[in-house]
Structures are given as structure tokens and as C-alpha cells.
Chain A
Amino acid sequence: MRWPQGHPHDPPPGGIDLSVGSVMAVAGALAPIIFLSDWATANPGLGLAASIAVPLLVAALCGLFNGVLIALLGVQPIIATLIFFISGRGIAQVLTNGNLQTFTNPDFTWLGTGRLLGLPVQGWIALALTITIALVVRRSLYGRYLLSVGGNERAATLAGVPVARVKITTYVIAATLAGLAGMIVVAQNSASDAARIGQLMELDAIAAAVVGGAALSGGRAPIFGALLGAVFIQLMGYTLIANGISDEMTLIVTAAIIVLAVWLQRGARA
């Protein structure tokens, strides 16, 4: 058998993280395990701190794992993050024995249900993080590096950008944010179901980023656009459901909007 050989492909620019939903599940499963443990009930203050810090750290480690596979071993992002997509939820289920963990812990649930100046705490968190990340992407050296790697990896390498470090940092940030999201979901529900936290969330996240205008091939990062995209997709879902349009039709409409958004962006670039 012979296979025609073209030129060896340059790795496609831009990354993707399929593992965010599973990382949410891992972090969301860990937090209750920690604050429900005997040690944490004996030391409530420390226990609460640990139940927030440890899951974030574990999520960051998941991101480090993704980043090392991608940046140092040259594995394609879609394949590297596929590993945690497949096994992350399983790890969360092994941790909890597949059981639903319910709890009452007002300090922790404040993360998901509390209010500050009339707005939900989680909303403040999302807003603060969005502003921070937008500033980092626009103003910091890392942000410049990030866009140059996404825009033209080879040029970035030749220009002396520490490509591997930039990529690893990016996957660590994505995973840590996913971990935080997982804990917020758990705090909101006062319950942690490893099988369901963050399920299909990677698709929502990709859709939001695309609708918000992040080019899938990388090199552009409209952070506020992604926020608007996420809000738009959620609002559209709620509006359709509130108007008696069923869940399944909402899926079809979401699909159509993704196609339209990607197609419009192609038109704008051409």
C-alpha cells in the first residue's frame, strides 16, 4: 500500500479545549468531598478555603497536562483534550462512587446563590474575570504572545516568542476557569452530580466564542465578544423556551445560529 504524500502539514493554528466540561465535573465533585470530610467539619474556615483552592489546583493540573501534551509533545489540541473529555467525567464519578452528593453549606453555596449589590455573586465573578482577561490579552506581554501564536505560529517562533510556555499557560487558564465554573454549578444546586456537571458545556463554550467572533483558526480574541456570545446564546435559549418552543427546537436554532455566525465571519474576512 502506498499513500500519496503531500508536504507535511503545518500544524493547524489555533487550539481547542474539549475537556472543559469534564474538568468542571472533576472540580465540582472534589469541592463537596473536601468540605464534607471530617477534617473540614472540624476546621470550617480552613476546610472552606481548601474546598475552593484544591479543586482549582486540580483543574489547573488538568490544563497543565493538556498543555504539555500539546506544546511539548506536539499532539493536536483536539486529540490531547479528547483524553480528559473521555476520562475526566469518569474520574469525577470514581471520586464520588457515581453518587449524587447533596449538602447544605451556606458559605460555599454563596458562590452560586449569593447576591452582592442586588446582582448574583457568580455574575460579579464572571464580569470581573472577563475584564481581567480582556486586560491581560490586550495589555500584557502574554496577550501579545498569545495572539501572535494563534496568528502565525511559525512566525512567532522565529520572532522569539516562547510558544510552548504561552500555549501551556493558555490551557492552564482555560482549565482553571472551567474548574471555577464547575464549583459555581455545584454551589448553585447545593448538589454535585458528577455525571451531569458541565455536560456538553464545551459545545456551548465554542458556540459562544464563535458567535462572539473569536476566529476558530486563532489569532483573534474578542473577550467581550465571547461574553456577549455566551449571554446571547443563553438568552435565546430562555426566550425560545419561555415562548413555548421546545428544548429540541432550541438545539436546532442554536445550530443554525452557529452556522450563520461562522459563515458571516468567513464573508467578512474574504
Chain B
Amino acid sequence: MIGTLLRQGHLAVWVALAVLILFGTLRYDNFASAYNLSSFLGYNSMFILISVGMCLVIMTGGIDLSVGTVAALASVVAAMLSPLGLAVALPAGMAAGLAAGALNAAMITGLRLPPFMATLATMLAAKGAALWLADNRTVPVDWTSDFTALGMNKVADLLPWTILVALVAVVIAWVVVDRTPLGRTILAIGGNAEAAHLMGLKTRRAEVFVYLFSGACAGLAGVFLASGYGAGQPLEGAGWELAAIAAVVVGGTLLTGGMGSVTATVAGALLFGLVFNLLNFENGRGTISLSANWQSVIRGAFLLIVILLQARLARPVPKT
């Protein structure tokens, strides 16, 4: 019963996505162009990554507020090491993310701090570390090394490498959640942490995993940022954590944890990106002129609609 409802909820995200794509294709000449598709996917690969990491964390009933500033930190680290090439800068950026994830995991599973507070502290600390490393400036990347290839090059002039790398992370998350004991433990923690622990599930290990995974995703998103836009940006990433939470919520994952879907989260992230893509095209036609200031208003309104729909959907779920 609940499964059916949930699957309908997930279906709704995909249907909304399909309707918007169809609308865009019919209405705008260049919407379905290779250029729009590749720049859309390139930009949103960062948000897909952090949303998927956030999805796993939220499934355990936790939250990771640090993803935005951790991505900024990783972009600085990667940009500073970019002269050494992608083979060094990419793992280094991910390592920065993993370190932040390890810090979160230590505070949450070791000191038993509430995830909200622990990751809030990491959010501040990562921003401080990023500004300190970057000396309060953006850090230009080395264009002569192969570092920018990741963010700039495309497969067959269409698919950016970043979206392919992001897809690998999505597949890993999906396999873990749907096909492994670790994934069942993750969902069991969100369902009822104490019961999961009493059943003998390795809850601590699963919690450590989700925060490490989220940190690694944020680190990788930071590498994409530096590689695709040519600079390590210590002040970027503000509000990313909320965009990720919004994508997860739109994807039908309940914030209390215990259930959810990796694929629907990806759809949620794409849906958010698409709304802006369409607005840009509509602006381009001159029929409306919405300044950039409207973007966040519309994003908020969009989130409101989804929440209202979910409040209606979630209410009649009976106890099984």
C-alpha cells in the first residue's frame, strides 16, 4: 500500500520532468539543441552529485548542511593543485570532501551530536578553511594542464564528462541502497534507529558510510566547479545544501528518513534545474522579463507546491 503510494509519488516527478521537457521542446527552437543539453547537464551534474549524497544521509534520518561549503573548499584545493594535473587535483578535491565527511561522521557517531549541529559546525569550518587556503580570493586554475578537461570536454560533443562521472556516483548510491545489506541498514536506521541497533544491524558503520559518501560527492562537485568554470571559488556553494535538500524532498524522500529513492532524487535535481532553464528561454523570447531576482522566488514557490502536494499525499497513509 505504502509502496504503491510512494511509487506514484516517484512517478509524478518523472511525469513532471517529461511534461516540462516536452513543453520546452515544442515552445523554444533551441531548447533541444546539443548546446543547451550539454550546458544544462554540465551545470546540473554538480547538483545531482550533492543531491544524491544528501539523499543517502536523509534516508538515515540525518542531514548534511555542510555540502555547499565543502564543495567550495574542494574547488579551492583542486584549483591550487591543478598545475599537477587532473590525476592529482581530482583525488585531492575528493579527499578534502572525504575529510569533511569523516569529521561529520566522527561528531555524529562518536560524540553523538545531532546531525544538524555537527554538519552546521563543519559548514562554518569548511568555509573558513576555504577562505584561508584561498587567501580570500578566487584561485585561478592552471589552463596548461589537463585539469580543465574534466569540466570542459564532452563525449561526442554532447555529454559532458562531469555528467558521466556524476552518473557513476548515482549508480553506486542506487546499488548500495537497493541491493546491499548496507542499504537496508541505512533505511532501517531512518525507520527506527534503536530497533535497527537492537536487531544487531551495523548502524554505526552505515552512518559513517553515508556521511563519507556525501562528503565525497560534495568534494567531487567542487572539483567539477573548479574544472568547469576555471577557478576555485571559496564563496561559492552558499545555499547548495538547501537546493540539495529541496531536490531530495521533491523526489519524495521523507525527511524523517526510512524510505526514499535515489533515482527520484536525481529527477528532483533535474526538475529544479529545468525550471530555470525554461525561465531563461522564456526571458529570451521577450514575452516575460523576469530578472535574476525572481529565480529564488520561483524556486521557493515551486518547493511550496511540492510540499503542499506531499502533505496531501502523505496524510492518508494508514499504519500497516
A251 within 8 A of B: yes
B216 within 8 A of A: no
Q: Which chain B residue lies CB-closest to A82?
A: B242
CB distance from B131 to the nearest CB of A (A): 4
- Bound CA span A98–B293, Å: 7
**Beta-carbon contact of B299 and A87 below 8 Å:** yes
**Beta-carbon contact of B125 and A255 below 8 Å:** yes
Residues 9-39 of B contacting A (Cβ, < 8 Å)? none
CB distance from A170 to the nearest CB of B (A): 18
CB distance from A77 to the nearest CB of B (A): 10
Residues 182-236 of A contacting B (Cβ, < 8 Å)? 203, 206-207, 210, 216-217
- Bound CA span A103–B107, Å: 47
**Beta-carbon contact of B300 and A3 below 8 Å:** no
* Cβ contact of A203, chosen from B107, B114, B124, cutoff 8 A: B124
Residues 52-72 of B contacting A (Cβ, < 8 Å)? 61, 63
Q: Which chain B residue lies CB-closest to A252?
A: B128
Interface centre among B117, B258, B298, B308 (most CB of A within 10 A): B117
**Beta-carbon contact of B245 and A251 below 8 Å:** no
**Beta-carbon contact of A1 and B239 below 8 Å:** no
CB neighbours of B317 from chain A (8 A): 8
* Cβ contact of A86, chosen from B2, B120, B188, B242, cutoff 8 A: B242
Q: Which chain B residue lies CB-closest to A195?
A: B293
Q: Which chain B residue lies CB-closest to A6?
A: B191
Number of B residues near A (Cβ < 8 Å) is 69
* Cβ contact of A82, chosen from B127, B245, B256, B297, cutoff 8 A: B245
Residues 84-110 of B contacting A (Cβ, < 8 Å)? 107
**Beta-carbon contact of A4 and B188 below 8 Å:** yes
**Beta-carbon contact of B128 and A6 below 8 Å:** no
**Beta-carbon contact of A98 and B291 below 8 Å:** yes
A80 within 8 A of B: yes
B202 within 8 A of A: no
CB distance from B70 to the nearest CB of A (A): 13
- Bound CA span A262–B108, Å: 11
**Beta-carbon contact of A246 and B6 below 8 Å:** no
* Cβ contact of B192, chosen from A6, A85, A210, A249, cutoff 8 A: A6
A9 within 8 A of B: yes
* Cβ contact of A97, chosen from B114, B127, B257, B293, cutoff 8 A: B293
A113 within 8 A of B: no
**Beta-carbon contact of B187 and A3 below 8 Å:** yes
A7 within 8 A of B: yes
**Beta-carbon contact of A91 and B258 below 8 Å:** no
CB neighbours of B190 from chain A (8 A): 6
Q: Which chain B residue lies CB-closest to A19?
A: B300
Known: A5-B320, A82-B303, A248-B131. A90 touches B118 (CB 8 A): no
CB neighbours of B143 from chain A (8 A): none
Q: Which chain A residue lies CB-closest to B2?
A: A5
By a beta-carbon cutoff of 8 Å, the part of chain A in contact with chain B is 1-9, 11-12, 16, 69, 73-76, 78-80, 82-91, 93-94, 97-98, 203, 206-207, 210, 216-217, 246-252, 254-256, 258-259, 262-263, 266
Q: List 22 A-B contacts (CB under 8 A).
A: A1-B3, A3-B260, A6-B188, A6-B196, A8-B319, A9-B256, A11-B256, A76-B256, A79-B245, A82-B245, A83-B307, A90-B300, A93-B296, A94-B293, A203-B124, A216-B114, A249-B128, A249-B132, A250-B128, A251-B125, A252-B124, A255-B124
